[in-house]
Amino acid sequence: MERLLITAIILAIPAYLYTWLVRNIDRFEKKNFPTLVDAFAWGSILAITFARIFQEILPIPATQNMGEVTLAGSLVKPLITLAVTEEILKGIVVAIIYLRCRREFDGWIDGIVYGATVGFGFAYVDNIFYLTNQTHTWGEWIQLFFSRSIVFCGIHGFWTALVGIGFGFARYTNNPVRKVLVISGGLIAAMLANIIHNGALIMIQERSNLILLLALFNYIAMALLTILLWLIARYVNLQRLQTYLSEEVPEFISFECYEALCSSDKNIFASLGMSQQQRRALFKVATKLAQKKMELIKMGEAGSNSVEITGLRQELMRLGNGDWGVNI
């Protein structure tokens, strides 16, 4: 019990850091932590539970040749049982979140955030199982902790983010065939990435130096991908603001505020006398308004888009005029 408690507490640290990092990809409309905790919990409890059940009831024995396990046989279980069942089950969790939070699921960027968080939750509980059941000494624990929780923990989030991207693209199409194609494409991409990773680990498992090189490659790739996604998300959000807020000038927002929002230039905001907290509030409302206007154009009157747009316009005008009496 002591080992389990210590493991759960220590593993929570990298899990939090990974979740915090992916949350900041969406710079202008960060998701609330309670929502991400919900996604993390779904991933950790539901997906890992069913994955464990399926992996136990669907054992796939390795093919043997002359009494020895062949490389092809040793690849079967991790490549099929693990990769396929894990990604399908994590994908189901992303689907549940998508259906529950449909109006907050604002495209592929949110798909990355929600999908990755589900993956981090899955990896968190999965690593607790491994560290408590597969180690007998603290030395073994430290070694396994480094390899599973530090080196490869973020990989699960990356795989499930691919599924989330598929749901994000499906958000803005009414064509059911296209929805199925983009969601299936994200799921298949996640499976293939999982299979390639597991296969590479098996083929180099006897060479610790190659494992370290693979880990280094994984993290460099993830770091570059995170930076790239952050830049793309920033560009997409600024272009969306420029496109959908232009017609709000000057009735609901001044040209100076519009220019500041579309350039994200802190100096322009400073010249308007806005603090950092005020800028964040204005960005939040402006981003939501642009999002709702895009939804209205692409999806029509789904829910109450027009009503929300009217309210957001009034809120934008209030904030642009410097009225900060109401918290956002």
pLDDT tens digits for range 154-174: 788 888 999 999 999 898 888
Q: Are residues 279 and 170 in the same domain?
A: no
Boundary of a domain, candidates 181, 203, 225: 203
10 Å Cβ neighbour count for 310? 12
Q: Are residues 10 and 157 in the same domain?
A: yes
* Phi-psi sector, 63: left (phi>0), alpha (psi -120 to 50), beta: beta
219 belongs to a structural domain: no
Q: Are residues 189 and 288 in the same domain?
A: no
53 belongs to a structural domain: yes
102 belongs to a structural domain: yes
Predicted confidence at residue 126, as pLDDT, reads: 84
Q: Are residues 132 and 276 in the same domain?
A: no
Mean pLDDT of each 10-residue bin along the chain, 328 residues long? 84 89 77 85 80 61 43 56 84 91 81 92 86 81 75 79 92 87 94 80 62 68 77 83 88 84 73 76 86 80 78 86 52
Predicted confidence at residue 166, as pLDDT, reads: 93
Q: Are residues 179 and 267 in the same domain?
A: no
Total residue length of the chain = 328
- CA dihedral in degrees (78, 41, 181, 29; nearest 10)? -130
177 belongs to a structural domain: yes
Q: Are residues 188 and 100 in the same domain?
A: yes
For tokens 């499906």, the residue is 170
Predicted confidence at residue 160, as pLDDT, reads: 92
224 belongs to a structural domain: no
149 belongs to a structural domain: yes
Q: Rounded to an integer, what distance in angstroms lies between the CA atom of residue 215 and that of residue 217?
A: 5
Collapsing DSSP states into helix, strand and coil, what is residue 273? coil
Predicted confidence at residue 116, as pLDDT, reads: 93
Counting Cα atoms < 13 Å in the Cβ hemisphere of 151 gives: 17
Q: Are residues 27 and 170 in the same domain?
A: yes
299 belongs to a structural domain: yes
Q: Rounded to an integer, what distance in angstroms lies between the CA atom of residue 207 and that of residue 210?
A: 5
- Give the pTM: 0.76
Predicted confidence at residue 177, as pLDDT, reads: 92
**What is the extent of the structural domain holding 9?**
2-203
Q: Which of 200, 173, 169, 195 is nearest to 183 (CA)?
A: 169
Q: Are residues 23 and 108 in the same domain?
A: yes
For tokens 């490389």, the residue is 71
The structural domain count of the chain equals 2
Q: Are residues 248 and 199 in the same domain?
A: no
Boundary of a domain, candidates 149, 175, 203: 203
